[in-house]
Amino acid sequence: MIDLNLPYLTEEHKSLAMLMKEFCEREVDLKKLNEIADQVIPPNATSAELRARMPWDLVSKAHDAGLRQIAAPTEFGGGGYGEDHVGLGVMAEVAGYYGGQLGRLFTIAWKQMAAFAYTKKDIAEEVLGDYMNDRKTMLGASITEPNSGSDYLFPYDEPGVTGQYLAKKEGDEWVFNGDKMFCTAGGVSNYLMLMARTEPKGPISKSVTQFVIDTRRPGWSVARVNDMMGNELVTNVQMHFENYRIPDRYREGPVNGAFDVMKSRLAGKSLHMFAVIGWAERTWEDMKEYALSRIQGGKPIVQHPNVGMLVAETDCMIRHCRLFLYQDAWEWQQIGQGQMRDVLGWYYINWYIKRVLMRLIEAGLEIYGGMAPQKELAFEHWVRLHLSIMHGGSTGGLSLVKAANIMARSGSPRPSDSNALYET
């Protein structure tokens, strides 16, 4: 059970959380969702095959309940909660706890649709109109490339670090040739928010442009599926562009200004972490129940210090992480428009949640003993999946490097605004 007695949560938030809880309890078969996600992905799977795996009927029910589209602006048919990061956060946490895989199924799309509140109206109408009418699509984002991961995520503006020259202007159109790498939900989305290098030689942070990509246009394809030890329902793909063309109006923000646009799209990233912490809480509770009922040496193993201490330690870390997330979400709301007030907090939570997950995995191995890797327990699926998705955004270490860099520049650690991001 999730404790909703937090000072961050209003009556409205709690009511929304209860709606999400009820939805998950009625509609979600946890084991079945895991089994769907664990289905073997055929080699050279196409977007059509990936889409066929998705539990679209569940997604459709979520739409009927208003949950699928709750983060989109009301003028485009959504619930209008895009700026309520605490509200979306608690719903994501509840979805992770009661719905497992469903958590990120919501947050992946919520994060993208929220930002349409401050983008070009015609694009917002097109993308969100399509999303409202087509209940068999997700919304995703694409940043990294096969040869440029941390190059983009840091970003490395050093001379010589270029990344692929992906998009060139031809008349009123942009032509894409090349590949994008880790794209969550890329294979099951009609539209993707994608950044592409548009200036061949300059520093990355000033050479990349943000686009809205329609995957149904000719020239786009799934190059390969990133088949991981634990796959999500939405899968993760590498994408290939071959003479892919879109009119200039699908450009978001100024040419070479993607990193400025990014600053307005960071808020909402913590939503994924809310979903993760929710599922982690459930995983921890299962561990605790096991420790209370498994008898060895004549007593429940929780009474053996090595186990008891692990149960307590991981509870502490999860509570900690959870409060950090809520504080973070609250911070996001203080400025709005996707702006972040506490950059350091943002990097720290990115690093910290990975520590929590790893410690929880270690604890599970110790507590469950021989049972840990058994397929009958939900634990092993959770482990495989979270080892696979943990580094969405960047590795933990990179987050700390970025935090350290900010302190090095400013001389002392203090909350600073989004402009501190990506300063070189």
Partner 1 sequence: MNDYRHVMIFGELADNGLASITKELLSGGKKLAGSLGEELHALFVGHAIADGAAKACEFGADKAYIVEQESLATYTGDVHTAVLVQVVEKLKPRILLFGNSDVGADLGPRLAFRLKQEIATDCVDLKIEDGTKRLLRTKPVYGGLAMSVLASDGFPQMATVRPKSMSPADRTGLTAEKPISLEADLGAEPVKVKVVGRMVEEARGVKLEDAEIIVSGGRGIGGPEGFKDLEEMGKLLNGAVGGSRVAVDNGWIPTSQQVGLTGTIVAPRVYIAIGISGASQHMTGCSRSQRIIAINKDATAPIFKQAHFGVVGDWKNVLPAFIEKLKELG
Partner 2 sequence: MNIVVCIKEIYDPEATIESFRLDGAAKTLVSSAKVLKVVNPFDEQAVEAALRIKDKMGAKVTVLSLGNNLDRVVVKKPLHMGADELILLEDEAYVGGDSWSTAKALSSAIQKIGECDLVLCGRQAADSNAGQTGLGIAEFLGLSCVTLARKIDVDVDRALIERVITDGYETVEVTLPAVVTVSNELGQARYPSIKNIAKSNAMKPVIWKPSDIGLGPEECGASGRRLQAIDLFLPVFEATCEIVKGETLQEAAQNLAVRLREERIL
Applying CB under 8 A, the residues found at the interface with partner 2 are: 1, 3, 5, 10-12, 14-16, 18-19, 22-23, 26, 65-67, 70, 79, 81
Nearer to partner 2, 126 or 286 (CB): 286
DSSP 283-302: HHHHHHHHHHH-EETTEEGG
When binding is defined by CB under 8 A, the residue of 11, 170, 172, 376 that contacts partner 1 is: 376
Contacts of 310 (CB under 8 A, 6+ apart): 362, 363, 366, 367
Binding to partner 1 (CB under 8 A) within 25-54 occurs at 31
What letter would DSSP give residue 40?
P
- 417 is a site residue for partner 1 (CB under 8 A): no
Which one of partner 2, partner 1, none interacts with residue 22, CB within 5 to 8 A by kind? partner 2
What letter would DSSP give residue 146?
T
Nearer to partner 2, 27 or 151 (CB): 27
What are the C-alpha distances in Å from 273 to residues 191, 277, 323? 23, 6, 12
Contact in structure between 55 and 233 (CB atoms under 8 Å) = yes
Q: What are phi and psi of 159, to 5 degrees?
A: -60, 140
- 3 is a site residue for partner 1 (CB under 8 A): no
Neighbouring C-alpha atoms within 13 Å toward the C-beta of 364: 26
Nearer to partner 1, 28 or 88 (CB): 28
Nearer to partner 2, 72 or 141 (CB): 72
What letter would DSSP give residue 369?
G
Which one of partner 1, partner 2, none interacts with residue 18, CB within 5 to 8 A by kind? partner 2
Sign of CA dihedral 54, 55, 56, 59: negative
Nearer to partner 2, 5 or 412 (CB): 5
Min separation Cβ 288 and partner 1, Å: 12
Which one of partner 2, partner 1, none interacts with residue 376, CB within 5 to 8 A by kind? partner 1
Rg (CA), the chain: 21
- 289 is a site residue for partner 1 (CB under 8 A): yes
Tokens at residue 211, please?
Answer: 């686009």
- 64 is a site residue for partner 1 (CB under 8 A): no
Task: List contacts with partner 1 (CB under 8 A).
Answer: 31, 289, 293, 376
